Amino acid sequence: MAIKQAKVITVTSVKGGTGKSTVALSLAGILSNKKLKTIILDMDLHSGVIAASLNLKVNKDIYTLINDYMNHGLKDLDEYIVKYNDYIDVLSAPKDPRQVGKISSQYIDILIKKLKYKYDVILIDTNHIIDNINLVTFDNSDYIIYIITSDLMDLKNMKTMLAIYKDMKLTKYTIVLNDALSKDHISLYEVTSFLEKEINYILPANSYIKNMRNLLMEGKIITLEKNYQKDKTTLTLTNLLDKILK
């Protein structure tokens, strides 16, 4: 009988400022509501906003874990993981960005494989840089979610990425258009025409992503708040997760 392994979902972008980490936290809240044991792996290594957004006190992080592993000091993964609630754990990015260059992509591969046996879902928040660490992360992902806006640079970068995916015959991804943070007033028709790709998931312009600063200051995940359970953004992200998990 096969041992159950976690579904690995990576949230990424093709440039900064798209609301990617906010969406990742919202997805974690929805997974928690579904009572799925989830770890948020903060692979946005230079920024590391996940632990800060949740007001978590972090003593050990990804760099500490990998450094201990390299020096044969790794005993228990739980020593490096911080609990947010009964269903959400966090493995934080390095507190010191100077440590990022000391992290080898081969250990990221090992880490993800180890975490697969402890969780239902590994939710990875990563950045838009195409380096060895992100390539390993993508290779280990069951599904990749791109968060984009309708800004021209975003669309150009996404079109380039789509060409790469088409060339490599990769299909395990979807695009979420975040209208809440879009500055250029470009219609959905114009976006899909430019990308030559259908957009199935749209976060509306009046999305709570615009108005969640106060909740983040309190370390709260908005999709865990009762008032936002039926919000259009929550429902859109829930539909996306249902498709991925199915």
Q: How confident is the model at residue 1, as a pLDDT?
A: 42
Residue 75 is assigned to a structural domain of this protein: yes
Residue 183 is assigned to a structural domain of this protein: yes
Structure tokens, 107:
């250990």
pTM: 0.94
Return averaged pLDDT per consecutive 10 residues of the chain, 246 residues in all.
81 94 96 98 92 94 92 84 97 92 91 94 95 93 96 94 91 94 84 94 84 81 92 95 94
Residue 54 is assigned to a structural domain of this protein: yes
Residue 2 is assigned to a structural domain of this protein: no
Residue 31 is assigned to a structural domain of this protein: yes
Q: How confident is the model at residue 88, as a pLDDT?
A: 98
Side by side, which strands form the sheet with 38-43? 82-83, 88-91, 38-43, 121-126, 7-12, 143-148, 173-178, 201-203
* Number of compact structural domains in the chain: 1
Containing structural domain, residue 199: 7-245
Residue 1 is assigned to a structural domain of this protein: no
